[in-house]
Amino acid sequence: MSALGPLPRRIAVALALPVTLIAAWWITSAGSENFYFPPLQTIVQTFGKLWFSPHALSDVVPSLWRFSVGYLAAAFLGIAIGIPVGASRNLRNVLEPVLEFFRAIPPPVLVPVLILFAGIGNEMKALVIMFGCIWPVLLNTVAGVRALDEVLAETVRSYRIGRFARLWHFTLPGASPLIFTGLRQALPIGIILMVVSEMFAASDGIGFALVQYQRTFALPEMWSGIILLGIIGIVLSLIFRAIETRLLGWYHGLRQSQRAG
């Protein structure tokens, strides 16, 4: 692989295609009379009016709140369950068939069920998001704990390192590269389920707003909502990457030194 160029060059490469696509959309849709595909210019103007108004907060904030609660609960539970399961073969043998079954259930089908006993409030949505996000985190944590280095494990034992220090200084960091893989996979799942759960039964949220616009044939508004979701996805993934770079710096350095050596 060629050496990475200077920063401006990299930014230019990264932005080339998005800019081209937006430009193409802008030009081809300019002056569009088609009701379903309004000019991008109109969509952008609507976007500004709609999502930079205080009113928008009443849809965006509940959505992000539900996402955060569901995602973080899934992260916590996935790691907390994954560590003992990864460490114990017996536990794996007992749990694996059940986990495989639950994982095979598409999370959106839980929405009607959860409405029955969790209502149509935030709890139901957070539960749906959690149920979808937990599997990649859980399964990757299990794989990460199983892949812990044996020599390192013996080192930990021979120095009589206690349970808590073992978890904090060995198990968690050792499994963290795979845990982060799971967390990254869970991110888009969480966003999808956030929108889907709001489309079913809600009185606010981005998903709810989208359905409202669609039903009232407010097409520019609907399109702008879709763009907003894309932007939220990118921002979340940038935040995620910043955290990952900080916590997994050692891992990327290690990999690089192994490739070089």
Task: Find the shortest distance in angstroms from Cβ 148 to another protein.
Answer: 11
Q: Which is nearer to another protein, 7 or 151 (CB)?
A: 151
* Residue among 35 and 159 whose Cβ is closer to another protein: 159
Provide the minimum distance between the beta carbon of 154 and another protein in the complex, in angstroms, as a whole number: 5
Task: Select 100 or 149, whichever has its Cβ closest to another protein.
Answer: 149
Q: How far is the CB of 97 from another protein (least distance, A)?
A: 22
Give the binding site for another protein (CB under 8 A): 149-152, 154-155, 157-162, 165, 169-170, 173-174, 176, 250-251, 253-254, 257-258
Name which of 34 and 158 has its Cβ closer to another protein. 158
Residues 127, 213 contacting (CB under 8 angstroms): no
- Shortest Å distance, C-beta 256 to another protein: 9
Nearer to another protein, 108 or 173 (CB): 173
Neighbours of 10 (CB within 10 A): 11
For the chain, give the number of residues.
Answer: 261
The backbone torsions φ and ψ at residue 34, rounded to the nearest 5 degrees and listed phi first, read -65, 125
Give the rounded distance of the alpha carbon of 171 from its chain centre: 24
Q: How far is the CB of 82 from another protein (least distance, A)?
A: 18
**240 CB-contact burial (10 Å; exposed 0-12 / middle 13-18 / buried 19+):** middle
Indicate the residue type of 122: N
- The answer to whether the beta carbons of residues 190 and 212 sit under 8 Å apart is no
